[in-house]
Chains A and B, each alone.
Chain A
Amino acid sequence: MIITVASGKGGTGKTTVACSLALAVQDQMPVVLDCDVEAPNAHLALHPDLPERQTVSISIPEVKTDLCTACGRCGEVCPFHAIVMLGKKVLVFPELCHGCGSCARNCPEGAIIEVEKAIGIVEGGQAAAGFPFAHGILNIGEPMAVPIIRKLKDWKPDSNGDLVIRDAPPGTACPVVETLRGADFALLVTEPTPFGLHDLRLAADVAQALGVPAGVVINRDGVGDEAVDDFCRDNGLPVLMRIPLTREIGAAIASGQSLVEAFPEYRPRFQALFVDIQRFVEDTNEGGGR
């Protein structure tokens, strides 16, 4: 089973929930993947040992000028304007390239070869609690997070369990979509404020568009208003857990602790959350969708 923890709005507690869920079910050896490659934070709470390190690259074109006849075909086929003709010269803009290889395949002279350009890394190993953990890190100044997330999703530890927990980046655009793609359940973490609600609605839309069943965790319960509860009720989104806003929880998270470590009473609560998710996914599969 693959659970993706997402939110729409940033800072609602995705990483807190993902890490605590993983720690609560550590006996099952969950594979935890921090897919927020722009701002990865799960390692701060899980204290992993990360001996594996692979570079993530995309293939960008390199033009062999001696073979190029300046026909302009490469520029025609590239929809990203990453390779363009300027007079008789071919120019490549690596930061616009998506690495699709179309220019190389369509060059009639075989004048384009592809070379690897590093855009980030994936580091893998083991969380301090013993389960497999990996995260991706986008290089500074690189725009494209998705290829790193894709590589991260492919990461396979030696002790391959059945349970995968993916911590998603904020927002609703391509990196979030890639993190949700192929998941069995979207655990949407929100806060009961207008910002939280607005972005929860978007995140729920994304999950629905991808056909991933979703449930909600309301963090900082007690601030704001009732609108998130109303929205969940009206849209059939189960509220699976509530975490209150307290100064003690805030301080513990700030110092880099996980919720279940700082407050052991949360361990059984997260175990119960996992059982709820499991049951929900089984019901959905048996019922052939909601």
Chain B
Amino acid sequence: MKQLVILSGKGGTGKTSVAAAFAHLAAQGAPKIRAVLADADVDAANLELVLDPRQVSEEEFWSGQAAVISPGSCTGCGLCAEVCRFDAIIASNGLYRVDDMGCEGCASCMYACPDEAIQMEDQLAGKWFQSDTRFGPLFHAALFPAQENSGKLVTLIKQQARLFGLDHEYPLVLVDGPPGIGCPVISAASGADLALIVTEPTAAGVHDMKRILDTTEHFGIRSLVCINKADLHPKGSEDIEQYCLDHGLEVLKHIPFDLAVTEAMVKGEPVTAHVPKSKASRALKELWARVADRLEEVA
């Protein structure tokens, strides 16, 4: 079973629109590859909005802890605030309380408290779901607002997708990744056989594409590039081509700017399903065929 992850560095370049189109094309286009889908952007999950999922199961995601100081036992000695390196202990009326939003759950305060006034409480950090879509099974999640441990939830989603795929003999897990290059991205990219970087020909898109390419290289993941909205700023697209040429990276396809992508999103469908003959859909079909071809090559 192979794993393809879609990444970008910069947000809003079109990762999810590409992932949705791939889900559709893998199920109904050419070539057909049965795929388990995983939305690894757990703090802003959007793939479900265009795949019309029917939920099969819902599970709680418990992760991490937060300190709680019981006011009755607190003597106001302040040792907790002294050891906390996350500014999460706040003095109030001679006693202390914990700012949940700042607490990392390290338990330093609990160990430091001489009066055993501090307890660590498990945190319900989100939910994760298995759903059916007409293009295949989807594993997705919702991290609760302002929660930590998004990387762990990404790892969980991917594990579940992978186990399901192994049990049901799927040849591919298709992972829609989060923006950035940090913890959830590293979790999303880990174990991938191939990364498709969706960039856009803007100054910021190019800057962040380099950051994500450095990241995938750091972890030894083979990467391919596609340029979304390529015609919006042709000079930028040329710069990307040149950069990729200089660094031995393949630019698989230019996808033109096309309002059909937004129309399809409003209708809750992949663009290739909603407007198959649009400029963007035609480009995405070619892109998918090439990506499938490269997937064949990876061992």
B169 within 8 A of A: no
Binds B, one of A63-71, A84-92, A173-181, A280-288: A173-181
Chain A contact-residue range equals 35 or more
State whether A194 touches B181 (Cβ < 8 A): no
Known contacts A10-B12, A39-B9, A202-B43; is-contact A209 B106 (Cβ 8 Å):
no
User: Residue of B at shortest CB range from A43?
Assistant: B207
Within 8 A of A (CB), among B192-230: 200-205, 207-208, 211, 214-215, 218-219
User: Residue of A at shortest CB range from B268?
Assistant: A194
Binds A, one of B28-36, B141-149, B158-166, B241-249: B141-149
Given A138-B181, A176-B146, A250-B232, output 17 extra A-B contacts at Cβ < 8 Å.
Answer: A8-B44, A9-B44, A11-B179, A38-B179, A38-B181, A39-B180, A45-B203, A79-B106, A100-B106, A101-B83, A150-B87, A170-B44, A172-B143, A174-B150, A198-B46, A224-B262, A254-B236
State whether A193 touches B207 (Cβ < 8 A): no
B residues adjacent to A (C-beta < 8 A):
8-13, 16, 41-44, 46, 49-50, 64-65, 83, 85-87, 101-102, 104-108, 111-112, 120, 143, 145-148, 150-151, 178-186, 200-205, 207-208, 211, 214-215, 218-219, 232-233, 235-236, 257, 259, 262, 265-266, 268
Task: Give Cα A256–Cα B236 distance, bound, in whole angstroms.
Answer: 10
Known contacts A141-B186, A209-B146, A255-B203; is-contact A177 B101 (Cβ 8 Å):
yes
Task: Give Cα A199–Cα B42 distance, bound, in whole angstroms.
Answer: 11
State whether B180 touches A170 (Cβ < 8 A): yes
Task: Give Cα A194–Cα B17 distance, bound, in whole angstroms.
Answer: 12
State whether B85 touches A100 (Cβ < 8 A): yes
30 A-B pairs with C-beta separation under 8 A = A38-B211, A39-B9, A41-B203, A44-B203, A79-B64, A98-B104, A100-B106, A101-B108, A105-B112, A106-B111, A138-B182, A140-B181, A140-B211, A141-B219, A143-B182, A143-B183, A143-B186, A144-B183, A170-B11, A173-B143, A175-B180, A176-B146, A194-B46, A198-B46, A224-B266, A251-B232, A251-B233, A254-B201, A254-B236, A256-B204
